[in-house]
């Protein structure tokens, strides 16, 4: 370094050192990146095929990036690339098809909408399907509070709990963009979503979730009870398929976790009903009870028995709760609901006529009786029901509910249980009163309304009204 001053030599030495450090860090970064890519289970299809799903998860959660000077520190999780995600869809789809024994779909188009776009999609679907209409029935049964006007589902909260969705249009798989790396929960959700895609390809079941498949709806009467039963077949199938993918089919806690993941992504929720146990039971029914129903079919005849159920689907929640009733099904009794216009007056109109079904009846009883076991025993043996709601336009309502049972003994058991429920169903409680006008049956009345209960053989009749006079006017018109 002749010709350089000591100061110039010092500057050159520092520059040389800086260049060495920069190239050293660059080389280490490249080595770390290549090492991560070569070990990531999503970098090649072979790695994913050989991985054991979820136990532990085959997908990376965090990476560590060197940050000199000082020791390495963890950074925020790095999302998988769109190429890696598309490869995961293809490979998991192949595995799920093999486990479910359905023809694989050669290519799933994969889209990456934002969380906001998912929320807008859900809002569009719910504007067409209007699931909030069922809240009125649930409130009549005392399962949710009366909400007026009926709220729209909380699509923002639902979208926040969604990782993947299946769209029948174009048979697309949607993966929410920017959600972070794939986790065990994401992988379970994707297996469940791909099960819906395979179902739709084989049986025309649509997107799953809240939607009632048109291919199945034609086989049953259009009632809330039938809708729950049909969705339980579809969702139970998808839950069992995802459980077999994850090795959870014999793990009750694992199945319950799967049901929560799927319901969070697919079921409409409402801020006013958050954490309400009776409403959560309704939301989870297609997933929990549906999985038990499909598992019973599978235990009897494998996937072929499940496939046959799409040709002859269950039409009542009773068949879902008791698979043996599905195998030995009986016709549901259709009970007459009389025209009450002559008794109530021309201002009254029939607002709805529904079949409630065993599941909602059991929830209704359990919500107001001290014993869940008593409630579900009383709901067992259901053979059909008709609930008719009449309203006069100024807030007054009359409910006439007729329920048929498979035997006289089961009708008596329900009658006894319902006699315990009536005094506590409204606030303030109703008190037993003498039958007015020499009418037969049991009557209750109070500031919150009036009620009537009677049994004739295997049929029990319940009437709820705004006052004793109105209820007494209805009773003579009943069969």
Find out whether 314 and 230 touch, Cβ atoms under 8 Å.
yes
| Per-residue pLDDT at 82 | 83
| Per-residue pLDDT at 2 | 52
Regarding predicted confidence, which is higher, 139 or 184? Answer: 139
What's the chain's average pLDDT? 87
Asked if residue 72 has pLDDT above 90, the reply is no
Rounded average pLDDT over 61-68: 39
Asked if residue 290 has pLDDT above 80, the reply is yes
| Per-residue pLDDT at 34 | 37
Asked if residue 429 has pLDDT above 60, the reply is yes
Distances (CA, A) of 113 to 164, 169, 224: 10, 15, 32
209 sits in the region (left: phi over 0; alpha: psi -120 to 50; else beta) called left
| Per-residue pLDDT at 41 | 32
Rounded average pLDDT over 238-256: 96
User: pLDDT confidence of 83, banded at 50, 70, 90?
Assistant: confident
Rounded average pLDDT over 356-361: 98
| Per-residue pLDDT at 67 | 40
Asked if residue 267 has pLDDT above 90, the reply is yes
Rounded average pLDDT over 103-111: 89
SS3 at position 172: strand
CATH T-level topology, domain 341-477 = Protein Transport Mog1p; Chain A (3.40.1000)
Asked if residue 410 has pLDDT above 60, the reply is yes
SS3 content of the chain, % helix, strand, coil (to 5): 55, 15, 35
CB count in 10 Å sphere of residue 400:
25
Distance CA 420, CA 462 (A): 13
Asked if residue 17 has pLDDT above 70, the reply is no
**Measuring CA to CA, which residue among 164, 79, 182, 178 is closest to residue 121?**
164
**Measuring CA to CA, which residue among 246, 151, 155, 146 is closest to residue 195?**
246
User: pLDDT confidence of 12, banded at 50, 70, 90?
Assistant: low
**Measuring CA to CA, which residue among 102, 105, 54, 61 is closest to residue 249?**
54
How many percent of the chain have pLDDT more than 70?
A: 83
Asked if residue 300 has pLDDT above 90, the reply is yes
In sequence order, which residues have a C-beta less than 8 Å from that of residue 420 and are 6 or more positions away? 369
Asked if residue 255 has pLDDT above 70, the reply is yes
Comparing 23-27, 46-50, 231-235, 400-404, the range with the smallest average pLDDT is 46-50
| Per-residue pLDDT at 43 | 31
Which pTM does this prediction carry? 0.83
Asked if residue 59 has pLDDT above 90, the reply is no
In sequence order, which residues have a C-beta less than 8 Å from that of residue 214 and are 6 or more positions away? 204, 206
Distance CA 267, CA 154 (A): 10
User: pLDDT confidence of 136, banded at 50, 70, 90?
Assistant: very high
In sequence order, which residues have a C-beta less than 8 Å from that of residue 5 and are 6 or more positions away? none
Environment class of residue 73 by beta-carbon count within 10 Å: exposed (0-12), middle (13-18) or buried (19+)? exposed
- What is the number of residues in the chain? 479
Tell whether the torsion through CA atoms of 271, 122, 188 and 74 is positive or negative. Answer: negative
Domain boundaries, the chain: 83-327, 341-477
Regarding predicted confidence, which is higher, 359 or 60? Answer: 359
User: pLDDT confidence of 85, banded at 50, 70, 90?
Assistant: confident
Rounded average pLDDT over 443-457: 98
């Amino acid at each position: 370094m002749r010709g350089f001053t000591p100061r110039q030599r010092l500057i050159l030495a520092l520059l040389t050192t800086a260049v060495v450090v920069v190239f050293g860090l660059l080389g280490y970064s490249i080595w770390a990146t290549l090492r991560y890519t070569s070990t990531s289970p999503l970098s090649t299809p072979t790695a994913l095929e050989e991985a054991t799903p979820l136990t532990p998860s085959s997908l990376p959660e965090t990476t560590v990036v060197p940050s000199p000077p000082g020791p390495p520190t963890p950074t925020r999780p790095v999302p998988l690339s769109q190429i890696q995600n598309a490869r995961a869809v293809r490979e998991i789809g192949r595995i799920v098809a093999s486990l479910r024994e359905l023809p694989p779909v050669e290519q799933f188009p994969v889209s990456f909408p934002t969380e906001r776009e998912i929320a807008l999609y859900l809002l569009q679907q719910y504007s067409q399907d209007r699931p909030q209409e069922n809240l009125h029935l649930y409130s009549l049964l005392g399962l949710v509070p009366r909400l007026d006007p009926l709220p729209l589902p909380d699509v923002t909260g639902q979208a926040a709990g969604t990782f993947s969705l299946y769209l029948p249009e174009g048979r697309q798989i949607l993966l929410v963009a920017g959600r972070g790396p794939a986790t065990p929960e994401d992988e379970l959700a994707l297996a469940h979503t791909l099960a819906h895609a395979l179902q739709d390809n084989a049986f025309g079941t649509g997107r799953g979730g809240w939607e009632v498949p048109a291919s199945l709806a034609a086989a049953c009467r259009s009632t809330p009870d039938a809708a729950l039963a049909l969705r339980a077949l579809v969702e139970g199938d998808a839950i069992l398929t995802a459980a077999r993918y994850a090795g959870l089919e014999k793990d009750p806690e694992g199945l319950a976790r799967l049901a929560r993941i799927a319901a969070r992504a697919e079921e409409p929720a409402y801020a006013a009903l958050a954490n309400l146990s009776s409403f959560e039971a309704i939301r989870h029914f297609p997933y929990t009870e549906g999985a038990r129903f499909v598992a019973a079919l599978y235990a009897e005849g494998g996937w072929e028995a499940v496939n046959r159920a799409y040709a002859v689907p269950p039409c009542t929640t009773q068949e879902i709760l008791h698979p043996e009733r599905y195998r030995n099904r009986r016709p549901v009794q259709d009970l007459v609901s009389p025209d009450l216009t002559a008794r109530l007056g021309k201002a009254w109109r029939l607002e709805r006529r529904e079949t409630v079904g065993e599941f909602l009846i059991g929830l209704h009883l359990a919500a107001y009786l001290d014993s869940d076991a008593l409630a579900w025993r009383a709901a067992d043996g259901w053979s059909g029901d008709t609930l008719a709601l009449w309203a006069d336009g100024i807030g007054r309502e009359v409910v006439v509910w007729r329920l048929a049972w498979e035997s006289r003994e089961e009708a008596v058991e329900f009658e006894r249980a319902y006699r315990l429920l009536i005094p506590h169903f409204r606030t303030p409680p109703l008190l037993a009163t003498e039958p007015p006008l020499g009418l037969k049956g049991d009557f209750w009345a109070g500031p919150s309304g009036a009620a009537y209960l009677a049994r004739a053989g295997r049929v029990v009749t319940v009437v709820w009204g705004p006052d004793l006079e109105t209820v007494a006017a209805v009773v003579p018109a009943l069969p």
